[in-house]
A and B are shown apart, each in its own frame.
Chain A
Amino acid sequence: MQISFKNVSYIYQPKTPFEYKALQDLSFTIPSGSFVAVIGHTGSGKSTLLQHLNGLLAPTHGEVEIGDYKIQADEKNKQLKSLREQVGVVFQYPEHQLFEETVYKDIAFGPTNFGVEKDEIDDRVERTIDSVGLSSDMLERSPFDLSGGQMRRVAIAGVLAMEPSVLVLDEPTAGLDPRGQREMMDMFYQLHRDQQLTTVLVTHSMEDALAYADYVLVMDQGQLYMEGEPLEVFHQKEALNDVGLDVPEIIEFITKFEQKFDTSMQYTNQPLSQFAEQLKNKLKGGHHDE
């Protein structure tokens, strides 16, 4: 589903001493089926933006369009429930939302709320537990007996079981070990690929944004600071540093390398081994010319 924001502003506790403008005149479009990363410093409005995607918040001004759903200021929205079925949100530390007695029941919780048939639910639970990389032996265990990483996978399965067409991820890898982080991100990328899920990833990891996204939105102080393709965005080091963001290490390396050797490298997100080969050739080639 296509997502578009039109001049969206959001103000917390308006007309009180605590008034806070979290989003200001935000406009952008996320095409259906794309993988978009939203990056920005803490307090830049990422989380507020995210909550507009399934109608948890309605804009103070402006309009949010998600597929055929429209969320506007000052308007009661009646189709919120079906919108929430379409947009699955994985919040930060999703394992905190587990509450059922068994893993099965927790995964089935979402679909049950949306009125999915019993047989279909059984099916979906089996499928999603598999796609998050857990074995179905776990279904009858209590989610509170699992390890942190497993709990998170169960919580994510609970969101996937709703079979959303948009998947919103808020720092899904926070607090996992490096290997777990990579596995988790690869899993989301796989899902995005296999089911043509429109994916919105809110992240602090520039590496992830570069590796997985095909479009990047940079937020600062509630406004859209920059947008574009990852390579394009991450080559603007100064601008990113100005809003407290870094560039991925590999980009940093390439930039330094290019300066030092007065050359230009072709980097298009190719695997590291391939890039190393390219570097080798460049260095050898350079040597030859002398």
Chain B
Amino acid sequence: MNDSMIIGQYVPGQSLVHRMDPRMKMTIIFFFVIVVFFANSFGSYGLLTLFAFVSVAITRIPLSFILKGLKPVWFLILFTFLLHVFFTRQGDVLFEIFSFPVYEEAIEQGVKISLRFFLLILLTSLLTLTTTPISITDAIESMFHPLKKVKFPVHELALMMSISLRFIPTLMQETEKISKAQASRGVDFRSGPIKERVKAIVPLLVPLFVSAFKRAEDLAMAMEARGYQGGEGRTKLRELTLTKEDIAALVLFVVVMVGVFILRT
């Protein structure tokens, strides 16, 4: 597996954030994403940043691990920053780089927008870092439940989601195994002309497809053997219940939201 990618990875733990009801976590993050776009002053940004970092601290996942894991995103954030620095032309000229004027507003804009971007990614990755894929699908199924009234296949959708999530690590492992086997037979995935490298994917993809189809067949068979017949009348092993902690987190978040609206200019 790619060591530096943590998006979508779950880090087991017992913290408050880990224990929270996934529905509550998703609701909070949903509104956080909206509120981030309302922030416009340093005060409001500061409050949101504080909220994000306190949340990270509560999870007890080392911040350095998360920051390192977001490596692929750093480039995007930097790019956004530079774009704003060079193309905003308001306020006083602060200094010049290679005779290119950099304005005061530009720096401010750059910092704000890239911070906004960073906060969005930080908090959303916190969701997947502290919530198992299964809880996420459970939460989605439960939150979309009302749509059943309009014949929306909520259960089937949730099942499809959990099956695909379940098989991501399996397929990743499989990919790694097969690519190692082919590398041992002299395939070079890492260097050489592009044309050769594209061709090198075939020995990887064919076995992967073969095994994916085989797995799908086995799974269907196993489900049928255990009497699966859709969501009708099916009960849950893990019932989702809101606890006092969830309510407390919600209250805290509402306070932060109100704070942001007071502090924005």
Contact = CB atoms under 8 A, between A and B. Distances in A.
Interface stretch (A59-67, A82-90, A119-127, A237-245): A82-90
Given A17-B11, A17-B62, A91-B181, A109 B211 contact: no
B3 A110 contact: no
B178 A97 contact: yes
B177 A109 contact: no
A16 B185 contact: no
Contact of A54 (B61, B178, B184, B202): B184
A13 B65 CA distance: 11
A81 B196 CA distance: 15
B259 to A, nearest CB: 32
Given A91-B180, A94-B181, A114 B62 contact: no
B168 interface: no
B184 A88 contact: yes
B181 A16 contact: no
A98 B178 CA distance: 10
A226 B49 CA distance: 55
Contacts of A109: 185, 203
B134 interface: no
A109 B184 CA distance: 11
B233 interface: no
Contact of A84 (B1, B3, B178, B184): B184
Given A17-B62, A97-B178, A144-B210, A56 B202 contact: no
A113 interface: yes
Contacts of B61: 17
A159 interface: yes
B184 A96 contact: no
A175 B100 CA distance: 68
Interface residues of A, number: 26
B203 A13 contact: no
A86 B184 CA distance: 10
B177 A99 contact: no
A231 B1 CA distance: 40
B186 A162 contact: yes
A110 B185 CA distance: 5
A51 interface: yes
Interface string A68-96: 00000000000001001101110100101
A158 B184 CA distance: 11
A17 B11 CA distance: 8
Contacts of A81: 186, 188
A208 to B, nearest CB: 22
Interface in A2-31: 13, 16-17
B1 to A, nearest CB: 8
A13 B181 contact: no
Contact of B207 (A16, A85, A87, A99): A99
A187 B3 CA distance: 39
Interface in B162-197: 177-178, 180-188
Given A16-B3, A17-B65, A97-B207, A51 B186 contact: no
A87 B210 CA distance: 27
Given A16-B65, A17-B62, A85 B186 contact: yes
12 contacts: A13-B3, A51-B180, A85-B186, A88-B184, A91-B184, A94-B181, A96-B181, A97-B185, A110-B186, A114-B186, A159-B184, A162-B185
Interface of B: 1, 3, 11, 61-62, 65, 68, 177-178, 180-188, 202-203, 206-207, 210-211
Given A17-B11, A96-B178, A109-B203, 13 more contacts: A16-B65, A84-B185, A88-B184, A96-B181, A96-B207, A97-B178, A97-B185, A97-B207, A98-B207, A99-B203, A99-B206, A113-B185, A159-B184
Interface of A: 13, 16-17, 51, 54, 56, 81, 84-85, 87-89, 91, 94, 96-99, 109-110, 113-114, 144, 158-159, 162
